[in-house]
Structure 1
């Protein structure tokens, strides 16, 4: 442990330094010039400081005040060494941040005992700090492990839905990234944007409960079939709701409301405007855009510009205007995501209508 000693008297400096050096696991750093000591402290933090009161250029009380203004030295014990026994000086030094006092002439036993006690306190502080850092690191690792397990569960759920719906392909990857882009543009926090990207692929998890004759029908659905297909939103919510996992809770909200429309004509609850959860409004724009630009057995893929025009036309009726604007304001990112996540054997579509 390092002990800084500042005293303009060479004899006092040598005596105190020698006493400190004899303590176990201690070494002294000595300065006769307080300004030189401050310069040294610019890049170092000792474990104990012994500072003389009467020094040229900078007195001990002022120096202690300067040091206490620096948060690096907030917990470092500082002892003022002084021949002055006036109470006013001691009160001022304490108010500036002095931890203790040693009177001159320095007595060997007193200096040794005070230094040993204060260094023991400093060791305890460092041990607590290190334990706190270790605990924080362990908590961070445990939290990351829990999140990894949650992610694995979500991925496996989405894979289950993919086995039921062969049209899915890379749709969920693209739309999840589109959703994150929209959330970022809306100014949502980094963690919330990430959570939306992770939860967005669960939007169609309810299709697990739709009969194959409807889900896998190559042509357009009849009105009756379409009404049955609509149930996937409520089924998805039923599967995911009630979970203690925050990402599952978010997935339940998205699954339930991603077919609601801004004007209130959507399903299953007929919500409108800001009554629709923001995360669902975001996913709606991302999902519809990618569905339009993806090939299906019953339709060809739309061009990107045609799909863009559809979003613009539905702004304020089908879609939240802010979400559409956020999506279109990040158009270069949309193009990048689309190009980088093409389904096998599916060429990138032209932007021209």
Structure 2
């Protein structure tokens, strides 16, 4: 890169801070043919100009000034994010090594003692401006790359989220009765997880990142339904025992489908790990009477225990072909009655405390009568197709 182009396309601005008029005049005369020059006859004014909307590219700074000396001006410049990157060159009659050391330790880029040699001054100013131009370019490039990475990450996350919802919706469209189930259960799980986050039994797992992953993974809990035959999945009523056994396989099918996707990727993906837990175990019960593995208590993953409450609550408040929706109060009562048998007791206690939030989520994402009618029409057509 041609640093001369960077430096001279627009003249760099040099701020001279000195309390002696003759020194200001001398510096202005030396610099004005090459640079824009600003002057300040005290430290306070110098700080004001440096922090303005049009800051200088470099500051020449005297040490011995009344009120605020050059060392203190430099310290304040380096402490302020707006002025931190402006290079400072001390111009001073203080020539002792410890004086120079102090100036450099405060963050100055250079230290020149008086009397000033014009060629040396101009060379050092040019050097520092070239270095600053390079640093600014690299910093701008880094900021651009950081912003671009963040933008691409947001895009990838959005594509990932939409893909998950599309896959989950594909499974749900084969079930004639689920409506906005995936949107509601997703939010129930998040609300319950956030409530339980400080709880000593769950705090190590329910980190901010894991709660985000739970929210993202929850829609895949019934992805295995795509593998259930239509004659069973679309049956307009309760299942016969042998049909229920086939239906139970959706947990295994869901886990295996997600595992296959992870195998294709060739690497373990955190949100898919939790999605597998939820898909496999969300029908397990605290007392071991659930399926597919009859797990008991804490052997059931936390993610699946959260989904169990969300899934059952939503099924209770939702309209089905074979039943009307239950009011929130009745659904909440059934959840409470399942404490210690169907559900983790501590999770039920948390549910009781935030049950109004569950109710609000259900009201925010309701299944309309039109949604229900469309499901009925879909079911009737599916049954006709099988006949």
TM-score by length of 1: 0.89
CA-atom RMSD in angstroms: 2.5
Aligned length: 346
The equivalences for 1:12-31 within 5 A come to 12-23=23-34, 26-31=35-40
Match of 1:200 among 193, 204, 218: 218
Q: CA–CA distance in 2 between the matches of 1:264 and 1:217?
A: 28
Using the TM superposition, give the Cα deviation of residue 72 of structure 1 relative to its aligned residue in structure 2, in angstroms.
Answer: 4.2
Does residue 1:6 correspond to 2:17, yes or no?
yes
Using the TM superposition, give the Cα deviation of residue 163 of structure 1 relative to its aligned residue in structure 2, in angstroms.
Answer: 3.1
Q: CA–CA distance in 1 between the matches of 2:28 and 2:302?
A: 66
Does residue 1:288 correspond to 2:312, yes or no?
yes
TM-score by length of 2: 0.81
Q: CA–CA distance in 1 between the matches of 2:163 and 2:69?
A: 65
Q: Deviations over 1:116-154 (max 9, x none)?
A: 110111111111111011111221222223223322322
CA, structure 1 residues 276+49, in 2 after alignment: closer, same or farther (shift >3 Å)? farther
Using the TM superposition, give the Cα deviation of residue 46 of structure 1 relative to its aligned residue in structure 2, in angstroms.
Answer: 3.4
Does residue 1:184 correspond to 2:198, yes or no?
no
Using the TM superposition, give the Cα deviation of residue 289 of structure 1 relative to its aligned residue in structure 2, in angstroms.
Answer: 0.2
Q: Is the partner of 1:241 in helix, strand or coil? A: helix
Q: CA–CA distance in 2 between the matches of 1:331 and 1:211?
A: 35
Q: Deviations over 1:59-92 (max 9, x none)?
A: 2223323333334444332111112221121122
Q: CA–CA distance in 2 between the matches of 1:202 and 1:158?
A: 5
Moved more, 201-210 or 14-23: 14-23
In structure 1, the residue matched to 2:233 is 215
Q: Is the partner of 1:295 in helix, strand or coil? A: coil
Equivalent pair of 1:79/1:98 in contact (CA under 8 Å):
yes
CA, structure 1 residues 67+222, in 2 after alignment: closer, same or farther (shift >3 Å)? same
Unpaired runs of 5+ residues, structure 1, are 348-353
Using the TM superposition, give the Cα deviation of residue 29 of structure 1 relative to its aligned residue in structure 2, in angstroms.
Answer: 2.5
CA, structure 1 residues 327+43, in 2 after alignment: closer, same or farther (shift >3 Å)? farther
Using the TM superposition, give the Cα deviation of residue 246 of structure 1 relative to its aligned residue in structure 2, in angstroms.
Answer: 4.4
CA, structure 1 residues 206+328, in 2 after alignment: closer, same or farther (shift >3 Å)? same
Moved more, 191-200 or 101-110: 191-200
Q: CA–CA distance in 1 between the matches of 2:57 and 2:290?
A: 67
Using the TM superposition, give the Cα deviation of residue 323 of structure 1 relative to its aligned residue in structure 2, in angstroms.
Answer: 3.0
Using the TM superposition, give the Cα deviation of residue 206 of structure 1 relative to its aligned residue in structure 2, in angstroms.
Answer: 0.7
